[in-house]
Amino acid sequence: MDLKLSAGDEAFRDEVRAFAAANLPASVVAKTWSGRHFEREDHMAWQRALGRKGWLTYTWPKKYGGPGWNVTQRFLFENVLAEIGAPRILPFGVKMVGPVIYTFGTEEQKARFLPGIRESSVSWCQGYSEPGAGSDLASLRARAVREGDHYVVNGQKTWTSFAHWGDWIFCLVRTDPDKKPQEGISFLLIDMKTPGVTVRPIIMLDGAHHVNDVFLDNVRVPVENRIGQEGAGWTCAKFLLANERLGIAEVPASKRGVQGLRDIARAEGLSDDPSFRDKISDIDLQVAALEMSELRVLSDMAAGGAPGPEVSTLKVRGSEIQQRIAELACEAVGDYGAPYQPELLFRDSNESGIGADHAVPAAARYFNMRKTSIYGGTNEIQKNVMSKMVLGL
């Protein structure tokens, strides 16, 4: 049992640092540190660079084009990128649909879709939730009716992150309304350019546009775009959700967040305030506990275990921590949390902040982060999962 890094690990870490330094534009890094939002191209250019290096799909097995890293290397990679301020890797292709395709897809599907994900030449989004199917995902109603070589899809998806940037969407659709809710679902890949696909923005409480409604109106999808058997979509969905829950804890980003919080506290003259210090120490320790819990899961996985339902606990705590960091930043900036400057938040603008730079995104971030305990299965649902699967209640 050991937490130390080997010489090889340290060399690896330096290599990642050097790569990031050479390939991340300063303007993008600056957005991270000032809490501004990225444009599509900020993400894509960075992901393409990682793709060229073979590192974008760093969690994939070697045979599908992953780099074959061990748990320690993945951990270091994620932490270095977060420390440096790289945009997070968008998970929809890399961590969600990619593994579904290489696990459940046909050889043709693998050949057709995996390269676009590895190279980040294609941008993916997720069609899961519906207006009437949130926490109760299995009640979804988007309907796919077989018509010769095609499915004709009708329905509506919602909370679709970055659908306005997406080339493709992976969807859960109902192919058999007569079966039990979980059994009539299939997993379809849909080209966003197909006629009948409409994207409508949903503006969030902080003014941000990340998520969308996606309307599917007689959308014709070739049958070969179905992953796995018809009616086996729920299996793919559960597999995907378990993978999602692991990364969703966002530990490296929260570590960076705590560092940012210390900087804000210094700038605000709060670093000697004992109660604010206590609050920072407390959140720092929560992050440390979460990181160690995640490492324990990874260590089990390295020894051959699959991520079990207990990873739900990482999602719950990870979201609470992200929220707490945002809350403390808001507390630290005081009255200068009030001015609202969307131009500065969402667009590349030269306008200057009304308060300190770090104050501009504080409130917006706090509001926005409330989503983390709701998305990816609400924290209440995660606790239901744990209660049933882990505790047997």
Partner 1 sequence: MDLAFTPEDIAFRDEVRAFVAANLDRDIADKVAAGKHLVRDDYMRWQQALGRKGWLVYTWPKKHGGPGWSVTQRYIFENVCAEMNAPGIIPFGTKMVGPVIYTFGSEEQKARFLPDIRESTLWWCQGYSEPGSGSDLASLRTRAVRDGDHYVVNGSKTWNTMGHWADWIFCLVRTDTDAKQQEGISFLLIDMKTPGITVKPIIMADGGHEVNEVFFDDVRVPVGNLVGKEGEGWTYAKFLLANERLGIAAIPQSKRGVETLKEIARAETDNGRPLIEDSSFRDKLADLDIQVTALEFTELRALSTMAVGGAPGPEVSFLKIRGSEIQQRITELAVEAVGYYAMPYQPSLLWQGANEEPIGPAYAHQSAPRYFNVRKTSIYGGSNEIQKNVISKMVLGL
Partner 2 sequence: MDLSYSDEQKQIKEGVERFVREEYAFETRRKIAATPRGWLPGNWAKFAELGWLGMAFSEEDGGFGGGAVETSIIMEAFGSGLVLEPYLPTVLLGGGALALGGSKAQKDALLAPMIEGKKQFAFAYVEKQSRYNLADVAVTARKDGAGYVLDGHKGVVYNAASADQIFVTARTAGGQRDGKGVTLFVVDADAAGLSRRDYPTQDSLRASELTFRNVKVGADAVIGTLDEGASLVERVVDRAIVGICAEAVGCMDAVNKATLEYIKTRKQFGVAIGKFQVLQHRMVDCFTNAQEARSMTLMASLKIDDPDVDTSRKAASGAKVQIGKSGKFVGQSAVQMHGGMGVTDELSVSHYFKRLTMIDTMFGSQQHHLTRYGNISMAA
CA atoms within 13 A on the CB side of 325: 29
Q: Is 186 helix (H, G, I), strand (E, B) or coil?
A: strand
Residues β-bridged to residue 221: 151
275 binds, among partner 1, partner 2, none (CB under 5 to 8 A by kind): partner 1
Give the pair of three-digit tokens for residue 372: 């983390």
Asked if 278 is part of the footprint of partner 1 (rule: CB under 8 A), the reply reads yes
List CB contacts of 134: < 8 A, sequence separation 6 or more.
Answer: 378
Q: Is 133 helix (H, G, I), strand (E, B) or coil?
A: strand
Distances, alpha carbon 35 to alpha carbons 29, 63, 94, 165, 361, in Å: 10, 37, 24, 21, 6
Cβ 212 vs Cβ 199: under 8 Å: yes
Nearest distance in Å: CB 382, partner 2: 8
- Is 244 marked active-site? yes
124 binds, among partner 1, partner 2, none (CB under 5 to 8 A by kind): none
Would you give the binding string for partner 1 spanning residues 223-262, x where CB under 8 A is met? ----------------------------------------
Question: CA-CA distance, 205 to 36, in Å (whole number)?
Answer: 16
Cβ 5 vs Cβ 14: under 8 Å: no
Strands 168-174 and 124-127: parallel
Q: Of the listed 78, 244, 291, 294, which one is catalytic?
A: 244
Nearest distance in Å: CB 274, partner 1: 5
Question: CA-CA distance, 298 to 312, in Å (whole number)?
Answer: 14
Cβ 345 vs Cβ 362: under 8 Å: no
Asked if 387 is part of the footprint of partner 2 (rule: CB under 8 A), the reply reads yes
Burial class (CB in 10 A: 0-12, 13-18, 19+), 21: exposed
Question: CA-CA distance, 56 to 63, in Å (whole number)?
Answer: 15
Looking at the Cβ atoms of 235 and 378, the one nearer to partner 1 is 378
Ordered DSSP codes for 185-215: EEEEEEETTSTTEEEEEEE-TTS-EEEEEEE
Nearest distance in Å: CB 281, partner 1: 11
Looking at the Cβ atoms of 16 and 283, the one nearer to partner 1 is 283
Burial class (CB in 10 A: 0-12, 13-18, 19+), 153: buried
Looking at the Cβ atoms of 275 and 352, the one nearer to partner 1 is 275
Looking at the Cβ atoms of 128 and 276, the one nearer to partner 2 is 276
Nearest distance in Å: CB 279, partner 1: 10
Among residues 112, 262, 355, 367, the one that binds partner 2 under rule CB under 8 A: 262
Would you give the binding string for partner 2 spanning residues 327-366, x where CB under 8 A is met? ----------------------------------------
Q: Is 135 helix (H, G, I), strand (E, B) or coil?
A: coil
Among residues 275, 306, 352, 393, the one that binds partner 1 under rule CB under 8 A: 275
Window contacting partner 1 (CB under 8 A); options: 180-188, 271-279, 325-333, 367-375:
271-279
Among residues 7, 22, 193, 274, the one that binds partner 2 under rule CB under 8 A: 274
Looking at the Cβ atoms of 178 and 272, the one nearer to partner 1 is 272
Asked if 27 is part of the footprint of partner 1 (rule: CB under 8 A), the reply reads no
Burial class (CB in 10 A: 0-12, 13-18, 19+), 250: buried
Asked if 393 is part of the footprint of partner 1 (rule: CB under 8 A), the reply reads no
Among residues 148, 195, 274, 392, the one that binds partner 1 under rule CB under 8 A: 274
Q: Provide the annotated active-site residues.
A: 244
Binding positions for partner 2, rule: CB under 8 A: 1-5, 9, 71-72, 75, 262, 271, 274, 277-278, 280-282, 284-286, 288-290, 292-293, 295-296, 299-300, 303, 310, 313, 316-317, 380, 383-384, 386-387, 390-393
Binding positions for partner 1, rule: CB under 8 A: 274-275, 278
